[in-house]
Chain A
């Protein structure tokens, strides 16, 4: 299974602060996804990213969220001005061209106090 790693594994932040979640390293994949899973709930699609552009985003992915691939390998999710309800596991996933399969990273647990 293609490896997907994420950092940090756990992030604790104060409400209103900005956080950056990272998906590293990425190799030979062009398609990336971020999903969110609030504790005990289902996995929810946030955004898909292809060729350095957002290809689709959900209603959850509002103006406080942004994604980028700053150095051609790391894939980041930025949450500006975090809210209590942003507390969740955030999973990065990647997909190879020509395949439907998505491989998930281990996730970052975000706790907003």
Chain B
């Protein structure tokens, strides 16, 4: 079945700098890749997603890139702010099931 690896596990950046989180997946048939932000004690919240027929998607300070050949996708956050501090999870969704297989999470700390 699908397996998703995520790194780094923790990431500290200075406010205003960029942050990049990377994920790889194993099932080349997976066709949907969401990113979730989870604040302490809260539910995961979708921040951006990308489908397999798209190479890049951007939403204000957040962007996601997908390399289907290499089976990896990345989250880019520019101009980081303290409120970006949270745990970020990537996920891959194999076709037909719509279930999500999550990565292990990245704890992002934005230092003011």
Q: Which residues of A contact B (CB under 8 A)?
A: 31, 33, 35, 41-45, 48, 55-56, 58, 91, 95, 100-107
Contacts and interface: CB of A to CB of B under 8 A. Distances in A.
Interface band, chain B: 20 to 34
8 contacts: A42-B102, A45-B100, A55-B97, A56-B97, A91-B43, A100-B49, A102-B34, A102-B98
A8 to B, nearest CB: 15
Interface string B60-97: 00000000000000000000000000000101010001
Interface in B32-80: 32, 34, 36, 42-46, 49, 51
Main secondary structure of the interface of A (DSSP, over half): strand
A100 B34 contact: yes
Main secondary structure of the interface of B (DSSP, over half): strand
A31 B43 contact: no
Contacts of A45: 99-102
A15 B43 CA distance: 26
Given A48-B99, A100-B51, A106 B34 contact: no
A100 B32 contact: yes
A55 B99 CA distance: 10
Nearest to B99: A45
A105 B99 contact: no
